[in-house]
Amino acid sequence: MSGESDLRKLLSGMRPELNEGVYVFCNVPGTAVPAGTAPVATVLEPEGLTLVLRQEEADAAGLAYDYPAGWITLRVHSALDAVGLTAAFATELGAHGLSCNVIAGHHHDHLFVAADRAAEAVALLEDLAVRSGQERSA
């Protein structure tokens, strides 16, 4: 099933959901995921393997990390070739001084924002969705 590509439908249907826990970004040499960890995402770069995982897993594995983050999943099924969704929510969050690291899955976009502002980010995204829905019906 292909995802939605209409920007207004994507925005109005975002349904941002804050996942439990605090997530961190780690980097390890090579390509192997360290034992005892279950990353929610990995990215292989020339500098090593980036892991996004729960903070307590990184602590237990003795991994150094950056950027304690809240993980927000946009529940709308976005098409991988949809245009404008990332720009729209990044602009909204940026206007309120929130950085956002985005990972696209096959079905959903996943946003990592500062852990201490994650609830605020969800509220801003919910407000953007409402405003976008009102624009559609106007």
CA distance 15 to 51: 26
CA distance 12 to 50: 32
Which pLDDT score, from 0 to 100, does residue 40 have? 97
2 part of a folded domain: no
Residues 64-86 have a mean pLDDT of 95
Distance between start and end Cα atoms, the chain? 29
- Inform me whether the pLDDT recorded for 48 exceeds 60: yes
Q: Which domain holds residue 111?
A: 7-137
27-to-32, 43, 93 alpha-carbon distances in Å: 11, 9, 26
Taking only the tens place, the pLDDT of each residue in 49-62 is 999 999 999 999 99
Q: Return the SS3 of 41.
A: strand
30 part of a folded domain: yes
Residues β-bridged to residue 104: 109
26 part of a folded domain: yes
1 part of a folded domain: no
CATH classification of the domain holding 81: 3.30.2130.10
Q: State the total domains in the chain.
A: 1
